Structures are given as structure tokens and as C-alpha cells.
Structure 1
Amino acid sequence: MRFRPRYALIALLALTALTLTACGGGKVKRVSEPAASIQQLTVGNDGNWEVELRLRNYSSMPMRFDSVSLAVKVGDETAGTLSATPSLSIGPESADVIKVRLQPASTARIVVADSLAGGRSLFYELEGTISATPEEKKQRSFEVKSRNSLNQAPGLPGVLR
């Protein structure tokens, strides 16, 4: 039997590829800062707001969202603080929505009423903390700061999306 270097090289490359494939089987678990935004703001008959808060998990593993405390600003006016303890598990790179009631400051009510009456966009800011627990890890507190806008929902009076 004669030694053929070409077949030996092919066998060595195949063995190397199999070894690398076996070693790379584990999924990398990464914890990223979550995000929050207002998905919908509904002004109630009593002037209070029901806020649908969208919580986004950018991590590659599930996270349990334990508490949320976010100061809300509409236009240039402070509205109040959205506080909740959802104890909600959100899968990797996914989002979910929680409802939070808010009794806004009177100046913020005026800004929202003006936006609704004029059919204009409402600019808002959220700033505060989200406490979340990544899968099999300790609870962490994440600083959140975001700016965005809402527009009047067609055919739904008192609703901004």
C-alpha cells in the first residue's frame, strides 16, 4: 500500500472540522440592557392615563422583569412616575407589554390634551431604572433613558400610539 499525501491532508482537514464543530456547540449567553417605550397612552374620562409600556429584552437569554420605575416627561412637562412590579418573564430578544396607570401632573395633562386637540405628535421621555433577573443569575438594575413620540390613533379618541 502506497502513502498518498493528498488523502492524508483531506482526512486531517475532515478531522479538524469535526473537532471544531464539537467544541462550538454551546450558545453564548449575553446580558444586554433592556429598553422601555410607550406603546399606547390612553386618556381616561377622569383625566388619568393608562400607559401600555413595552419592555424589550435584548439579551440572548430569558429575563424576568421584576420592577420598573420610570419618570415620564411629555413635551417639556414632568408627568409623573410609571411604577410597576410586573414579575414578567420575557424571552431572549423579545418584548412584552404591561399596563400601568398614572395620575399625571396637571401641566402634563394640558400638553397631552393640546396634542390630541391639534392632531400633533407628542414627544416624550422615559428615565429611570428597570430591575431584571437574567436566567440563572442575580437580579440587576439597569438605567433606562429613551426619547420617542406618539401620534393620535385614527378613530380612537384620547388614544396616542
Structure 2
Amino acid sequence: MNPRKLLIVLLGTCVVAACATGPRRVSEPAASLQQVTVAADGSWSVDVRLQNYSSIPMRFDAVQLDLRVDGEPAGTLASTSALTIGSESADVVTLALDPTSQARLHVADALAGGRSLAYRIEGSLRAAPEDRGNARDYRVRRESALSPVPGLPGVLR
């Protein structure tokens, strides 16, 4: 191969390699409730959806979220299990909660009446790029609503 063609091939390879790596972007993660399941004993199983908006995989080391339903404190959703979520992806962590009596009443009323239930989560997610150890806390606040799931007693989505 002549030197000129070799130079063109090498430059082309370098350009393609530079485009493939791109900049590493770490963005604030988000959290929301995906599902609440009420057990026969009144305890809840809460599916928390963790969203990684970063362009790289992130390791979520801790979740600490205060939950309110219909404006009433329900309890704290907490986990210290490390979970890695791929770039621009989401995953769900299921957390147990023994809610306050007021929160239980509001959820029971929503389920019995077939109506939606407003919720708010506020707290922090401790996360770091998967390949680094320097985790930091990200503040989270989300307000939304859950609705009873037809055919699934005791489940709100």
C-alpha cells in the first residue's frame, strides 16, 4: 500500500475511533414509584424506578426517599444495596415499607373507591460512575399519582 493511502486509512480510523468514544456525560438521576402492592398484613411492597440519564453506567449505592400519599407521611423508602444501571436506562428496586396508619387509610380508600392516589417522594440517591468510586448524593423530588390496577387487588400503578 502506498504511503498516501496508508495515511488516509489511519486518519479515517482515528476519526471513527474519536466519534465512538464521545464525551462522558454524568447527569442527575431520577426516581419515581412504579407500583405499590398492599399485603394482607397492611405492609407495602414499593417498586421504585431509578432512571440513569448519564451516558455511562452508574452505580446506585443508596436510596433514601421520604414518601407521602395524599399529603400524609407514609414512611421512608431506604436501601443500601448497590445496583448498576446502564447508560440512559432504568431499573426497578423493590423496597418493603411498614406505612403509617394514616397512609394505610388513604391507600385503602383509593383502592376501595377505584380512584387515583397522589404521592410525593423526596430525598436522595447516592450514585457514582461505575468505573469510579467517588459517589455523591443527588437530591430527588417527584410528585405524581398511582391508580388501582383492574384485576389486581391491592395494587396501585
TM-score, normalising length from structure 1?
Answer: 0.85
CA deviation after TM superposition for structure 1 residue 136, in Å: 2.7
Partner of 2:135: 139
CA deviation after TM superposition for structure 1 residue 19, in Å: 9.6
- Give 4+ residue runs of structure 1 displaced > 6 Å after superposition: none
C-alpha distance in structure 1 between counterparts of 2:13 and 2:35, whole Å: 51
C-alpha distance in structure 1 between counterparts of 2:52 and 2:17, whole Å: 28
Q: Does 1:154 align with 2:141?
A: no
Q: Does 1:34 align with 2:29?
A: yes
Q: Does 1:21 align with 2:9?
A: no
Structure 2: which amino acid aligns with 1:34?
A: P
Between 1:90-99 and 1:131-140, the stretch displaced more is 131-140
Q: Which has the larger radius of gyration?
A: 1
CA contact (8 A) 2:64 2:77 kept: yes
Q: Does 1:91 align with 2:89?
A: no
What is the percent sequence identity of the aligned residues? 53
CA deviation after TM superposition for structure 1 residue 23, in Å: 7.8
CA deviation after TM superposition for structure 1 residue 24, in Å: 3.8
Structure 1: which amino acid aligns with 2:39?
A: G
C-alpha distance in structure 2 between counterparts of 1:22 and 1:90, whole Å: 27
**Equivalent position SS for 1:33:** coil
C-alpha distance in structure 2 between counterparts of 1:148 and 1:154, whole Å: 19
Structure 2: which amino acid aligns with 1:114?
A: D
Partner of 1:72: 67
User: Root-mean-square deviation (CA), in Å?
Assistant: 1.9
Could you list the runs of 5+ residues in structure 1 that have no partner in the other structure?
1-13
**Equivalent position SS for 1:130:** strand
CA deviation after TM superposition for structure 1 residue 35, in Å: 0.7
Could you list the runs of 5+ residues in structure 2 that have no partner in the other structure?
1-7
Between 1:66-75 and 1:26-35, the stretch displaced more is 26-35
Partner of 1:127: 122
CA contact (8 A) 1:86 1:98 kept: no
Between 1:24-33 and 1:58-67, the stretch displaced more is 24-33
CA contact (8 A) 2:84 2:130 kept: no
